[in-house]
Structure 1
Amino acid sequence: MKRLVYAAAGLTALAFAPTGAKAEDASWGCQVLLCAASQNPTWQGVPYCVPPMKKLISAMSKPGFDWPICHEANAGEPGREVFEECPAGSQPASSSNGDDHAFRDEKDLCVRIVDKCKDRSEFHRLYGNDEANEQSRITLEVIGSGRDDDFWNQDNGCKVKVTSPRPRRADPWFFDIPNDKGVKERFWFNLRT
């Protein structure tokens, strides 16, 4: 909360520099930036922010849309990251099921290799319920040595590739806004009405 107050104060000072200026007098780009940076409440809970953000959402669907920029804040256009980081020990991976996700090279899965033989009870607790795995869209693939006659290989059947959907961000858009020391701070937001 403290960092929002500092960022908003700095942004407000930049955007509304003339004495006596009001928030309503700010450029549309500065209104959008200030509203997107609102965290508690989010822009949806700030009456002043609803009109400029709805205007933005409507404009985004039109051909030739250009993001409104707040030049005074040196923040530029927002970034967008649809997915959260994968859980520790997992790596992002792309779907390979042949649908249009694969063509976008979207890393929408988390993949990790686990050793089910190290702690069988923990593995069973996490992945032993087939119905729960199916509901969570978790798939398990036993990784063998590749040789049927390699009975004594300790890795044979112990390593399992666990694939799960990558968590999606509730707030996929972000602005990197410089604070009063010039260090950029990231503010996440969404465009849901």
Structure 2
Amino acid sequence: MNMRVIRSTIVLASSALASLTAAVVDTQASEWGCEVLLCASSSNPSWHGVPACHPPMDRLISAMSSWDFSWPTCPEAGTGSPGYEKYADCPAGWSVGYSEVGHGTRSESSLCVQKGRNTCSRRDECSDTISMPRPSRGDPYYFDISAKDGSVSRHWFNLRR
């Protein structure tokens, strides 16, 4: 057999094998992403109470520590990576506030503030704004899942083991 024919055959076989391997890896990643989505959106009980959810969610939590981590997605569901909101809403009558880090730079929105109340400290300095730490969410991650009727439901979850 001619060397060119052999090289061409090897190159074609290598390309076909690489394509097949990529397709299998993409399919496995998609399946894992769909498992993660199904488990994360479980609410009663949460994924923690569903034994079948422990392997894919434990795999996710472990993979997140890798420097090259990318969230497994579920293209069939039309979702990508989840959203993340560290803090819960402020109580009624309070609004989100920021603390000063220095030189006019603001920190993350970790405060709830209430204006319009006169409060005085022990030094007799009066202020019309009071603040408190903003509550943290127990379930800070979420997926927004669209229904066929166009409505969207938000499913909150956490990644604590």
Structure-2-length-normalised TM-score: 0.72
Counterpart selection for 1:77 from 73, 81, 84: 81
1:97 offset after TM fit, Å?
4.8
Q: Name the CA distance, whole Å, in 1 between partners of 2:99 and 2:60.
A: 32
Q: Which residue of 1 aligns with 2:110?
A: 108
Q: Which residue of 2 aligns with 1:142?
A: 126
Q: Secondary structure at the match of 1:76?
A: coil
Q: Which amino acid aligns with 1:164?
A: M
1:138-177 paired onto structure 2 within 5 Å: 142-143=126-127, 160-177=128-145
Q: Which residue of 1 aligns with 2:34?
A: 30
8 A contact 1:142–1:161 mirrored in 2 = no
Gaps of 5+ in 1: 1-25, 117-122, 131-140, 144-159
8 A contact 1:95–1:107 mirrored in 2 = yes
Deviates more, 1:179-188 or 1:73-82: 179-188
RMSD of aligned Cα (Å) = 2.4
1:79-98 paired onto structure 2 within 5 Å: 79-98=83-102
Q: Which has the higher contact order (CA 8 A, sep 6+)?
A: 1
Q: Which residue of 2 aligns with 1:183?
A: 151
Q: Which residue of 1 aligns with 2:61?
A: 57
Gaps of 5+ in 2: 1-29
1:52-99 Cα distance to aligned partner (Å, 9 max, x none): 00000000110111100000000211000010111222221222255x
- Select the structure that is richer in strand: 2
Structure-1-length-normalised TM-score: 0.60
Deviates more, 1:88-97 or 1:175-184: 88-97
1:114 offset after TM fit, Å?
3.5
8 A contact 1:43–1:50 mirrored in 2 = yes
Q: Name the CA distance, whole Å, in 2 between partners of 1:115 and 1:96.
A: 21
1:121-145 Cα distance to aligned partner (Å, 9 max, x none): xx8xxx9xx9xxxxxxxxxx723xx
Greater radius of gyration (CA)? 2
Percent of aligned positions that are identical: 49
Tell me if 1:192 matches 2:135.
no
Q: Name the CA distance, whole Å, in 1 between partners of 2:116 and 2:132.
A: 13
Give the number of aligned pairs: 128
